[in-house]
Structure 1
Amino acid sequence: MLTALIIDDEAPSRDELKALLATEPDVHVLGECANAIEGLAAIHRLRPQVVFLDIQMPRLSGLEMVSLIDPAAMPHIVFVTAYDEHALKAFEEHATDYLLKPIDPQRLAKTLNWLRNGAHPASQAPPVSIELLRQVPCVSRNRICLMGLAEIEFVHTDLTGVQVVSAERQGTTELTLKILQERTLLARCHRQYLVNLDHIAEIELLDNGGAEILTHSGKRVPVSRRYLREMKDRLLIS
């Protein structure tokens, strides 16, 4: 059985693809998402084998979304687009395949046969992944939001996921601490924490060899002994 997820901001396009996939007895559609932020969460939660992904979507494009997927959860990516130039871009970004809208059933059949016969997903995130993120996609109080890096004070993990904290709000992101450390200027200060150096008001040294950061908004962030020296070096503290 081939498990699939559909991510497209246009409901008619999702319905069309679902109807075509419903005729395939060995394809099971796990769900559908109307934007890339919901799609990112669904990929990490459902772990589909293939994602049919629209390229042009508001706020976060399909190409940008692929670069944010945890490599351990990377599915086959089949880009779905109405524009030939984007299809060419999809190949440059190491997609498994692409389909042009409106979808030709025979072309879809070829893609599915390729997937059934062992097509391999990209072994690494696409080249766009080396760019620094300017915003972090989050879910907060049943709302989807993008939090700008400049406003983020720190990020940490807890039992519910990865929490992104600013002075005024907080959200949960599907991005891992590893991806956030690689794709932003947030600094590791603890196994479970990254901090924005621009939001540090003071650092209190503790008797156990660790420290505690006080942010400009008054929040406290732990610094473990393992990362204290690195933090001091980045802040040019002797």
Structure 2
Amino acid sequence: MRIVIADDERTARARLRRELSEMANVEIAGEATDGLTAVAQIRALRPDLAILDVQMPELDGFAVLRALEPAERPAVIFATAYDAYALDAFRVHAVDYVLKPVDGEQLRSAVDRARAQIDARTDEVRLRALLDEALASRGGLAPRTDHGADRLLINTDGRLVPVRVEDIDWIEAAGNYVRLHVNKSVQMSRDTLTAMEKRLDPTRFARIHRSAIVNLDRVKELQAWFSGDCVVLLTTGERLRLSRSYRKAFESRFGRRKE
């Protein structure tokens, strides 16, 4: 397990290094003394786990997470001298938090939980691939390609559920999840919008702003709005904003679409 440590206190970093050095299969990939450096190191080193001090110069621990795209975020343990941050830590889906000065046993328990979470993610990816193959072989479906598949497996409450792509109306980002609007129902999946977009056929789906993807077959009309933005009216009656920065690419999709 590769770990990045971020804490502006030298003695706190030294204590973390000492405790982590006694754990098996742990490598300290990098250290940071402020939030901006922590963001840069996480992006460059792609660690499995980040141990972040809550209060740091430039960016605090929570701001470090906000600065990262969901796909860039490792498992996180917060280190703090105050219990008051515990609820905030769990709200951003941290694995755990440890109180400073760090206790070795508490840290070991938190790292073990992080390891279990990372292993579960790896198992989920493997299971998703196996289920994709099973769906393709039993249902006569084409295997997934760069242009998407007939069905997607989404992670809902720890279960992998197949969803027919043609039934998806639109998809929106929701923190570390995405909401799939499917036949007037909503399915939550632990995924990023960018990762979901890569699994969809680009001739059938398009971004309309940084937080939403729409099924082009559901587009009824475009209506002018403010500052170059538009409103996309869907056949379901829903109205979504088309950002000016995505408008040209979105409109061009209709000329390139395959029937």
Give the percent of matched residue pairs that are identical in Structure 1 and Structure 2. 33
1:39-50 alignment, distance < 5 Å: 39-50=38-49
Question: Paired residue for 1:54?
Answer: 53
Cα 1:65–1:225 shift into 2, 3 Å = closer
1:1-238 alignment, distance < 5 Å: 2-119=1-118, 125=175, 226=248
Cα 1:225–1:83 shift into 2, 3 Å = closer
Displacement after TM superposition at 1:224 (Å): 11
Find the aligned partners of 2:40 and 2:62 in 1 and give their Cα distance.
Answer: 16
Displacement after TM superposition at 1:21 (Å): 0.4
Please say if residues 5 and 51 of structure 2, whose CA atoms lie closer than 8 Å, have aligned partners that are also in contact: yes
Question: Paired residue for 1:149?
Answer: none
Task: Say which one has the larger Rg.
Answer: 2
Letter in 1 for 2:95: T
- Tell me the SS of whatever aligns to 1:88: helix
Question: Paired residue for 2:180?
Answer: none
- Tell me the SS of whatever aligns to 1:67: helix
TM-score if structure 1 supplies the norm length? 0.51
Q: CA RMSD in A?
A: 3.2
> Per-residue CA shift, 1:181-230, capped at 9, x if unaligned?
67xxxxxxxxxxxxxx9xxxxxxxxxxxxxxxxxxxxxxxxx99937x9x
- In structure 2, list runs of 5 or more residues that go unmatched: 122-154, 156-173, 178-206, 212-226, 228-244, 252-259
Please say if residues 53 and 79 of structure 2, whose CA atoms lie closer than 8 Å, have aligned partners that are also in contact: yes
> Per-residue CA shift, 1:90-141, capped at 9, x if unaligned?
11222111111011111111112222323568x97479xxxxxxxxxxxxxx
- Tell me the SS of whatever aligns to 1:43: helix
- In structure 1, list runs of 5 or more residues that go unmatched: 128-177, 183-196, 198-222, 230-238
Find the aligned partners of 1:98 and 1:224 in 2 and give their Cα distance.
Answer: 39
Structure 1 ranges of 4+ moved more than 4 A: 123-127
Cα 1:224–1:76 shift into 2, 3 Å = closer
> Per-residue CA shift, 1:159-191, capped at 9, x if unaligned?
xxxxxxxxxxxxxxxxxxx9xx67xxxxxxxxx
Cα 1:226–1:93 shift into 2, 3 Å = same
- Tell me the SS of whatever aligns to 1:29: strand
Find the aligned partners of 2:23 and 2:247 in 1 and give their Cα distance.
Answer: 56
Displacement after TM superposition at 1:88 (Å): 2.5
TM-score if structure 2 supplies the norm length? 0.47
Find the aligned partners of 2:66 and 2:92 in 1 and give their Cα distance.
Answer: 9
Please say if residues 95 and 110 of structure 2, whose CA atoms lie closer than 8 Å, have aligned partners that are also in contact: no
Please say if residues 40 and 65 of structure 1, whose CA atoms lie closer than 8 Å, have aligned partners that are also in contact: yes
Find the aligned partners of 1:17 and 1:70 in 2 and give their Cα distance.
Answer: 26
Letter in 2 for 1:16: R
Structure with higher helix content = 2
- Tell me the SS of whatever aligns to 2:117: coil
Please say if residues 67 and 126 of structure 1, whose CA atoms lie closer than 8 Å, have aligned partners that are also in contact: no
Corresponding pairs, count: 138
Displacement after TM superposition at 1:42 (Å): 0.5
